Amino acid sequence: MKRALDIADLALKVLSCLAILGGGVWAYYQFDIAGATNWQSNLSIETQVLPYRGDLRLLVVHVKSKNPRSVAFRLIKKDGDSFVLHVERVSDDAKVNMIVAPRKQDAVVPDIDLLADTGGEYEFAPNAEMDDMRAIVLKVGSTIALTADMEANNGTFDTRGKPNTDFITASTLVHVSP
Beta strands per DSSP E along 31-124: 42-53, 56-66, 73-76, 82-89, 112-113, 121-124
If one compares 43 and 79, the residue with the highest pLDDT of the two is 43
The answer on pLDDT for 121 being more than 80 is yes
The pLDDT confidence band at residue 34, using thresholds 50, 70 and 90, is low
Instruction: Give the pLDDT score at 171.
Output: 94
Consecutive H or E run containing 2: helix 2-28
How remote is the C-alpha of 60 from its chain's centroid?
A: 20
Give the residue, 2 or 82, on which the prediction is more confident.
82
pLDDT, residue 159, reads: 87
Q: How confident is the model at residue 135 (pLDDT cuts 50, 70, 90)?
A: very high
Beta bridge partners of 175: 143
Domain ranges of the chain: 1-36, 38-175
* Mean predicted confidence (pLDDT) in 161-175: 90
Does 37 have pLDDT greater than 70? no
At residue 59, the pLDDT reads 96
Global confidence as pTM: 0.76
Candidates 1.10.101, 1.20.120, 1.10.10, 2.60.40; correct CATH number of 38-175? 2.60.40
Quick check: 146 and 61 in contact, CB under 8 A?
yes
**What average pLDDT does the segment 109-128 reach?**
91
DSSP 8-class letter at 107 = B
Picking from 125, 144, 120, the residue whose alpha carbon sits closest to that of residue 134 is 144
Closest CA to 61 of 119, 108, 122, 120: 108
User: Per-residue pLDDT tens for 78-114?
Assistant: 988 999 999 999 887 878 888 877 766 688 899 999 9
In this prediction, residue 105 carries a pLDDT of: 67
